[in-house]
Amino acid sequence: MIDSLQEEFRRIYKGDPEYLFFAPGRVNLIGEHTDYNGGMALPVAISQGTWLLVSRNDKHKFVLRSLNVDDYAEVLVSPHYRRTNIDWVNYPLGVISRFTQLKDDGTSGLNMLFSGNIPRGAGLSSSASVEMATAFALNQIFEAGFGKMELVRMAVEAENDFVGVKSGILDQYAVTFGEKNTALALDCSSVSHTPVPCKLGEYTLMVINTNKTRSLTDTRYNERFAQCRQALGYLQQESPISELCELSPEQFENLRQLIPDPVLARRAQHVIEENDRVKQAVSALKKDDLELFGQLMFDSHASLRELYEVTGRELDLVVEISQRKGVAGARMTGAGFGGSAIALVHQAELKNFRKLVMSEYKKVTGYEPQLFPVKIADGVKQLTRQLR
Ligand code: GLA
């Protein structure tokens, strides 16, 4: 694999790569749309991700190429960068831009080649994976000395301000701090996590990519963000909170009448109850209670469907099919509006499950689903110090 990437690099850039990095994708087990509301989530990093090969050049340019997309960009090294009209390029370029603002000297031209095996638009954080590979690479190559947390913030700011998506910290955090066979009980208000061993016993964690792609630059994501802020504003009339997730579900029920718009009230209800479900899920996982854990996954999906309205018929169908024999729990993962679902499937039922999803899902939606087991992996890293 790495050999063929090096080969491609040589073919494109007529020289050897000097550095190699890898950043994983992520799956969020539970805790959706809580991160930008100061709540909890439970992500894992996965073995699929993005490789990044780099060499320095003397052209004073960042050359941004990918083996997954034909479009590429050459951008002069400068103190300021602008968005390009090539969608994928804006993710690494946003990071380069933020990096340059924070470290205003010493960057020089780089030949960069990205190659990923996360299906794009599948809700598995291919963009955060590209961002963190870039941030990690710049930090190492230019010896900037930023800590991992600073790199995470750099990538989130790039996505918020350069790409224009108001996403929270979940994806970049998981991609950076992920650990093999471990889930991260991530507290987005203190921005720290507790590692929780992810022992699934006789169950396998499966990803079901609906192949209904979506883009995070989708305005509906920013719309949900804005609705949460609005709901918060109403609640703050009587409560001194600064984030929705500071409220328990009971406290919220007592204050609910402050929100005049029922849609906004439903959005807040989802966020606050989902935060509570994550806490329950963490203690269920610690006690190896996969039955309860699975039930919380189903409840989370129902809430994302009914209250937050981000699921859509493809994800709903996958979860509905999963509600049959041999599945402890299933839900959408990531932002929603298409993308992937996850399911905890009993090993004895794996074959049947695959067959059932393949046939029923395709019959109804016309899309070919893609199923694969999740291997819980480590976060972003440099694979070799130097290749030459
Ligand atoms: C996307 C965003 C995350 C988070 C999830 C929903 O993945 O990038 O910050 O908000 O959606 O939980």
State the span(s) of the chain assigned CATH 3.30.230.10.
Answer: 2-195+377-382
Angle, alpha carbons 271-272-275 (nearest 5°)? 85
Angle between helices 262-286 and 290-306 (to 10 degrees): 170
Atom of ligand 1 nearest to the CA of 41: 12
What is the residue-wise DSSP string for 118-129?
SPTTSSS-HHHH
How far, in Å, is the centroid of ligand 1 from the Cα of 26?
11
What whole-number distance in Å separates Cα of residue 243 and Cα of residue 27? Answer: 24
CA 40 to chain centre: 14
How far, in Å, is the centroid of ligand 1 from the Cα of 328?
24
pLDDT score at 217: 56
Which contiguous run of DSSP H or E holds residue 157? helix 148-157
pLDDT score at 92: 98
pTM of the predicted structure, to 2 decimals: 0.96
CATH 3.30.360.10 fits domain 199-373? no
What is the residue-wise DSSP string for 275-323?
HHHHHHHHHHHHTT-HHHHHHHHHHHHHHHHHTS----HHHHHHHHHHT
pLDDT score at 189: 97
pLDDT score at 107: 87
Q: What is the pLDDT of residues 225-265, one digit of tens each?
A: 999 999 999 999 999 999 999 999 999 999 999 999 999 99
Cβ atoms of 123 and 195 within 8 Å: the answer is no
Give which of 76, 93, 68 is closest to 84, Cα–Cα.
Answer: 93
Atom of ligand 1 nearest to the CA of 127: 8
Catalytic residue status for 171: yes
How far, in Å, is the centroid of ligand 1 from the Cα of 340?
13
The helix/strand/coil state of 351 is helix
State the span(s) of the chain assigned CATH 3.30.70.890.
Answer: 199-373
Ligand 1 pocket: which residues have CB below 6 Å? 32-33, 35-36, 167-168, 170-171, 334-335
pLDDT score at 264: 98
Atom 1 of ligand 1 has which residue's CA nearest to it? 335
CATH 3.30.230.10 fits domain 2-195+377-382? yes
Atom of ligand 1 nearest to the CA of 31: 12
Side chain identity at 13, as an amino acid letter? Y
Distances (CA, A) of 292 to 101, 167, 278: 47, 29, 12
Catalytic residue among 35, 171, 187, 299: 171
How far, in Å, is the centroid of ligand 1 from the Cα of 345?
24
pLDDT digits (tens), the chain, 388 positions: 888 999 999 999 999 999 999 999 999 999 999 999 999 999 999 999 999 999 999 999 999 999 999 999 999 999 999 999 999 999 999 999 999 999 977 789 999 999 999 988 899 999 999 999 999 999 999 999 999 999 999 999 999 999 999 899 999 999 999 999 999 999 999 999 999 999 999 999 999 999 987 665 568 999 999 999 999 999 999 999 999 999 999 999 999 999 999 999 999 999 999 999 999 999 999 999 999 999 999 999 999 999 999 999 999 999 999 998 789 999 999 999 999 999 999 999 999 999 999 999 999 999 999 999 999 999 999 997 556 5
